[in-house]
Amino acid sequence: MRADVVFNGGGAHGQPAWNGDSGQHNRYYANFVDRVRMMLAVDTRTGTEYGVVRTFASTKFQFTNLGGSSLNPNVLNTAVPNVNSAASYGLGSLVANTNLLDTPGGGYVAVFDLFVQFAGFTFGKSASAYASPWQGSPAGQLSSFLLGGHSGDGTGTNNIQYKIEFGNGVSATIGLDDPTVWDRTVVYNLGSALALNATLGGNNAYAGVHAPDVVGNIRIDQAWGLFQISGAAHEVNASYNSLGLNALPTGLGAAPVPTGPSEPSGHPDTKWGGAVMAALQIKNLPTGAGDDIKMDASYAKGATKYVISTDSTSPSFAMFGGTGIAGAYQSVGFGATTDAVYLPVAGGGDGALHLTESYGIRGAFNHNWDPHWSSSIYGGYASVRYDAVAKASICANYTVPAKAVSADYVCNPDFNVSQLGFLTRWTPVKNLSFTAEVQWFHLDQKFQGTAVLAPSAPKPGARYEFRDQDTVQLEFRAQRNF
């Protein structure tokens, strides 16, 4: 059982204020988000002539105010036709957004893990074989949004795995993961003149899932610590070259929606990307009993979710702040998280998928002061990189329609993110803990100069300075295990 509150965060899991209303810091943004949750697990183990048969299930019962979920109350209810258009967004509504707040006596129930294990096999919903044992939490931190490596599917992904134990702490695991939820970001079709918005947001042109991700690890787990090498192969495929209502090439200005007879326009050839990760834990440090260091380093191509990874979807970033430039309304920093981009031949491109590269590193030092007090310092760094062809296509699309850019304007969609956090935990009695955590997040974007932009409401159409952005959040938790 736990109770959380986050100040200046985008969600009760400790999401930094890096996009949506929280990234804008507009009047719809909630200064704090609170949540209560109960997790219930069922674990059964039965001995048989074939070995132990295990079943495991964990569920959560939760109520949250959802105050940082970028749910602008002026966005009209989706149950009413044609009310979520760009023209109506942010202009006021007589229809309440019922998603803004869990209803009194409401909340929701969700499934974390749900699997069967037998003779080395795991069938069901569980952490990927790619994941490290600490998944995305090297510090056991409150935030589920530490970037720079694989989240470890903190709520599980559908998979099939087989693990072999070689003895002396050496093992190997191979698995097939369903990538639908956990292993995909987006693919951009840049053929439409309106493909990208003011903060590089775009329509997802991913095709259907045609193959699972092939994942695996080799692990050494001994008294001194742990070392693991993980790998993943990920299919990247796109839907069609034309996403227009009349199957016109998107370069001719058709709206980028996949509702028309677009099949004759063809599609890019499918490509395979992947990711690798090295993870290390060092135990028995001289600084204190139970102290350890955990870290992992990752590289991905066409599989950005393995680096820009959270317990939710992979974020793209859109943050606003102040400016010192005369004539500018505010500053803005943004970064698009994608698996690939492509520009169809009809739109002037080569028609091929250009896979996005990313890399990152995360780590934590965990220290026990005494049996009742412990602290951790943790951090992460991640980079997203586009190749020369992808950059040219993105930058050409971004300035259509014209944005009246300044003389010193530079377009570069690459970006870096950094995080640094500190937490202290008090355990007055066994299985009862109180934790306070602070985290800093920095967006290092590569655009320069100024431009006239039309960001999401309630931000106005105005001149904005391209600038790096920062945010800090504070989170508290009370938790009882039983």
- Say whether pLDDT at 445 is over 50: yes
- 186-196 pLDDT, tens per residue? 999 998 777 89
Average pLDDT of span 72-88: 37
What per-residue confidence (pLDDT) applies to 111?
87
- Say whether pLDDT at 477 is over 80: yes
Question: What is the pLDDT confidence band of residue 102, given thresholds at 50, 70 and 90?
Answer: low
- 12-51 pLDDT, tens per residue? 678 899 998 889 999 888 888 888 999 999 999 999 988 8
Average pLDDT of span 199-228: 95
Report percent pLDDT > 90 for the chain. 69
What per-residue confidence (pLDDT) applies to 402?
85
Cβ 432 vs Cβ 280: under 8 Å: no
What per-residue confidence (pLDDT) applies to 40?
94
Question: What is the pLDDT confidence band of residue 244, given thresholds at 50, 70 and 90?
Answer: low
Q: Distance between CA 162 and CA 117 in Å, rounded?
A: 9
- Say whether pLDDT at 81 is over 50: no
What per-residue confidence (pLDDT) applies to 474?
96
- 124-165 pLDDT, tens per residue? 999 999 999 998 899 999 998 999 999 865 678 899 999 999
Question: What is the pLDDT confidence band of residue 313, given thresholds at 50, 70 and 90?
Answer: confident
Question: What is the pLDDT confidence band of residue 417, given thresholds at 50, 70 and 90?
Answer: very high
What per-residue confidence (pLDDT) applies to 424?
98
Cβ 1 vs Cβ 38: under 8 Å: yes
Q: Which of 86-100, 119-133, 184-198 has the lowest mean pLDDT?
A: 86-100
What per-residue confidence (pLDDT) applies to 104?
67
- Say whether pLDDT at 88 is over 60: no
Task: Report the amino acid identity of residue 212.
Answer: P
Average pLDDT of span 186-209: 89
Distance of CA 151 to the CA centre of its chain: 8
Length of the chain: 482
What per-residue confidence (pLDDT) applies to 259?
52
E strands, 178-302, where?
187-189, 213-222, 225-236, 271-282, 292-301
Sheet holding 340-342, edge to edge: 187-189, 340-342, 354-355
| Of residues 430 and 109, more confidently modeled | 430
Average pLDDT of span 310-315: 83
- 40-72 pLDDT, tens per residue? 999 999 999 888 999 999 998 888 876 544 444
- Say whether pLDDT at 105 is over 80: no
What per-residue confidence (pLDDT) applies to 93?
34
E strands, 102-224, where?
108-118, 121-126, 157-167, 170-177, 187-189, 213-222
Cβ 344 vs Cβ 351: under 8 Å: yes
Mean pLDDT (the chain) is 87
Average pLDDT of span 440-467: 96
Q: Distance between CA 134 and CA 193 in Å, rounded?
A: 44
Average pLDDT of span 104-116: 83
What per-residue confidence (pLDDT) applies to 112?
87
The token duo for 82 is 């044609």
Q: What angle do CA 163, 169, 171 make, to 5 degrees?
A: 25
- Say whether pLDDT at 217 is over 80: yes
What per-residue confidence (pLDDT) applies to 50?
87
What does the DSSP 8-state code read for residue 356? P
Question: What is the pLDDT confidence band of residue 436, given thresholds at 50, 70 and 90?
Answer: very high
Prediction pTM value: 0.89
- 361-378 pLDDT, tens per residue? 999 999 999 999 999 999
Q: Distance between CA 421 and CA 378 in Å, rounded?
A: 5
What per-residue confidence (pLDDT) applies to 108?
79
Give CATH superfamily name and number for 2-66+101-480.
Porin (2.40.160.10)
What per-residue confidence (pLDDT) applies to 75?
44
Q: Distance between CA 466 and CA 392 in Å, rounded?
A: 18
What per-residue confidence (pLDDT) applies to 67?
53
Report percent pLDDT > 70 for the chain. 86
Average pLDDT of span 209-231: 97
- Say whether pLDDT at 212 is over 50: yes
Average pLDDT of span 165-171: 95
